[in-house]
Amino acid sequence: MSLLDTSLPGALPDVTTIPRGTGHLPRLIRLLAEAGLTGRGGGAFPAAAKLRSLTSAPVRLIVNACESEPWVYKDEVLLQRRPDLVLGGAALVAEAVGAAELVLAGGRGTPTLARLRRLVAVTPGLHRRVRVLDVPERYVSSEASALASLAAGGPARPAFHVGPMTQADHPGGPVLVLNAETVAQAAAVWASDGAAVPTRLLTLSGDVARPGVVEVGGAPPLVDVLARGGGTPVTPRAVLLGGLGGTWLPWATARDLPLDPVALRAVGASLGAGLVHVLGVDTCPHPVVADILDLLAAESARQCGPCMFGLPSIAADWRAAGAGPGSAAARERLARRLPVIAGRGACAHPDGAVRQAASALAVFGAHLAEHDAGTVVPPTAHLETAS
């Protein structure tokens, strides 16, 4: 079953078909486990395990459609084409876990937030208590614990937790946070009685002939996925997978890499929030990465040392690392700083910035050395226009 099946554009969920009560939770957990469905928001935690971890009620279910990643808009496209799967999946899970409230979260001022409000208004009976959450447009505001805090009346700020957030991680009470694509996949699996094999939505950006959202099944090689977007008009230099806190891979490594979790882990990468960003050989990577690191530093929660001091230092080191003759010392300083910051943040935000900088240093180190020799003049590149 395709999530982006356009034969039902703009369809609304038939709420009369959604089983009421918690009696179908064991079956839902079994179907999701058999399908191997993992979270599509970035953490890739097994959906069945998340549902199985809930041991008390009432639960607040938060469906995350914020997409604070600047280059990712798969959930927006999904809500445009198949709102029935998103809302139907949300209602299905909410009933299964006995949710006292269903919260649909969208980024402030975005078309997605407006669409969620319209959908709730025209879908009576979706849940006994449902609301749309207006989430500040900051990078860390859509992190699971930040959403849980905001939904409970607190600030949209991440809280410290190790691994996936559990119901005990927030004083606002038991909470379950699932990505919009995750609940849509759950609806597809349920509707097919487990016959539907979960697909994956990916946002193609950068040097791709037709940037946009594609749906892939199985584990095709990356080059085949890019062919869905018309291929690459220029020879790629590298590919960023996952998101701004993701991993750069050289094209020689990425080209034939199967988009399989095991194969991706072997090269230190993951699909994360579903970003595939291509950087062509005619684009200098230094300003592109510099803009990303500047944004990650500016968007931190500023609640711990690694964020407040570590991320601006990483960004400054990277800019100095490609500034021309004498910048080798900045690259060495950056390489020493990154392991000190990794794993020490109150949330995972610093780890993403470290992953971005470390992979960029590994992939683009030779190019930065050309800056040392004065043979490269870095062009201007800005994050908002790089795609």
Q: Which of 77, 78, 89 is nearest to 35 (CA)?
A: 89
- Which residues, including other chains, have CB under 8 Å from residue 332's CB and lie 6 or more apart? none
**Cβ distance 74 to 80 under 8 Å?**
no
Using alpha carbons, select from 243, 239, 244 the residue that is nearest to residue 225. Answer: 239
Domain boundaries, the chain: 15-191, 200-280, 285-385
Q: Cα–Cα distance between 79 and 91 in angstroms, integer?
A: 15
Asked whether the beta carbons of 175 and 143 are under 8 A apart, the reply is: no
Rounded CA-CA distance 361/318 in Å is: 9
The average pLDDT across 104-110 equals: 96
| Tens digits of residue pLDDT in 141-199 | 999 999 999 999 999 988 865 555 544 445 567 899 999 999 999 999 999 999 989 99
pLDDT digits 0-9 by tens, 326-375: 788 999 999 999 999 988 887 889 999 999 999 999 999 999 988 877 66
Question: What percent of the chain stands above pLDDT 90?
Answer: 73
- Name the DSSP class of 138: -
311's tokens? 């991320």
Q: Which residues contact 49 (CB under 8 A, 6 or more apart)?
A: 33
Mean pLDDT, residues 315-322: 93
Architecture of the domain delimited by 15-191: 3-Layer(aba) Sandwich (3.40)
Task: Examine domains 15-191 and 285-385 and report if their fold is the same.
Answer: no
Q: What is the pTM of this model?
A: 0.91
Instruction: Tell me how far apart the alpha carbons of residues 286 and 292 are, in angstroms, rounded to a whole number.
Output: 10
Fold of 200-280: Ubiquitin-like (UB roll) (3.10.20)
CATH topology of domain 285-385: de novo design (two linked rop proteins) (1.20.1440)
Burial class (CB in 10 A: 0-12, 13-18, 19+), 1: middle
